[in-house]
Structure 1
Amino acid sequence: MTRAKGPKYQVYFRRRREGRTNYAKRLALIKSRKTRMVVRKTNSSIIIQFVNFDFNGDKTLVTVPSTKLKKLFSWPAKRNVYTAYLTGLYAGKEAKKKNVVDFVLDVGLHQPTKGNVLFAALKGALDAGLKTAYSEEMIPAAKLAAPPDAIKAAFEETKKKING
């Protein structure tokens, strides 16, 4: 088997080869010159960060994993719409303390679909008082308006604690 060599062979950036970064999307978000709200899903939790671009490397202003809700408010840190909303709400409150007013949503390589947990986190940040351009149809408003009876009281109580 021959190896690829010579001037026509191009090696892409490491993070692109690993399938971790879409540099075209990243460049478009950075060109906006706004703070990015980075939402990442893991198998069991959600991580929200507010990040500013810097030539020496991105500067993270706020990081809130959904596991923090379990420690602070005894909310079960599952990966669902309600946890995403509360995590976005808490991250938005923390970002306001760091003088973040408006932002751009960065979902990375996740597929943006209607009612996704990514947009529940966005709704939480918007309810915290931050501003961004978004499509109303992507927000899971029906789910957030009527949580199941089993968690409704805990959801409202945690929401009140975060809002202060």
Structure 2
Amino acid sequence: MASGPRYFVPFRRRHEGKTDYYSRMRLLLSEKPRMVVRKTNRQIIVQLVDATLEGDLTRVAAYSNELEGYGFTGSTGNTPAAYLTGMLFAVRARNAGYEEAILDIGLTRSTPGGKVFGALKGAVDAGLEVPHGESILPGDDRIKGAHIAAYAPERAADLVANVEQAAEAIMKELK
């Protein structure tokens, strides 16, 4: 291992591949709340996080596991679930008094049309102001699950109608 006066030991979370500190600093200097989108194998998590000197505070959160309460019967880890989770998050954020946020995708690969940007599209469609480019958002057929219904019609035949019904149920929560 290198040593000496010019050797710099990287931060632990950077060394572990968990945090990009340059990107985090740019997000924190904006002084706007962050829309943090994280995906796991089974669910999508969207949170509104404020940065303070004591640490980050989560103000609003939405999980794709909660979509069952709004009538969604599909998988909770796909693009339509990400869209509906983003929409649910934006409704809760607007009800809590937040009108804008900055997207934070962490170390997730930035793939145009991906699940992370599906959550962004749901938040924007529900009225939250998040700066973005239109070219990264997934198409309407992916948002509604038409690509899944075409691939596996026996499992997801009514997914398109189900997504629309769940979206209407979520928008009724907006005060």
Counterpart code for 1:113: T
Runs of 4+ in structure 1 off by over 6 angstroms are none
TM-score by length of 1: 0.90
Counterpart code for 2:165: E
Distance, in Å, in 2 between the alignment partners of 1:119 and 1:160 is 20
Structure 2 partner of 1:153: 161
Structure 1 partner of 2:143: 144
Q: What residue ranges of structure 2 are gaps of 5+ in the alignment? A: 150-156
What do the CA deviations read for 1:61-120 (whole angstroms, capped 9, x no partner)?
112121121355453343111000000000000111221111110011011111111111
Cα separation, partners in 2 of 1:43 and 1:146, compared to 1, 3 Å: closer
Of 18, 30, 33, the match for 2:31: 33
TM-score by length of 2: 0.85
Superposed CA RMSD: 1.7
Q: Offset of 1:33 from its aligned partner?
A: 1.2
Query: Is the contact between residue 34 and residue 49 of structure 2 (CA under 8 Å) also seen in structure 1?
Result: yes
Query: Is the contact between residue 30 and residue 53 of structure 1 (CA under 8 Å) also seen in structure 2?
Result: yes
Number of positions where the alignment pairs a residue of Structure 1 with one of Structure 2: 162
Report matched runs for 1:1-164 at 5 Å.
Answer: 3-71=1-69, 73-142=71-140, 143-144=142-143, 147=146, 148=149, 149-164=157-172
Paired-residue identity, %: 39
Query: Is the contact between residue 70 and residue 170 of structure 2 (CA under 8 Å) also seen in structure 1?
Result: no
Distance, in Å, in 1 between the alignment partners of 2:99 and 2:9 is 39
Distance, in Å, in 2 between the alignment partners of 1:63 and 1:161 is 18
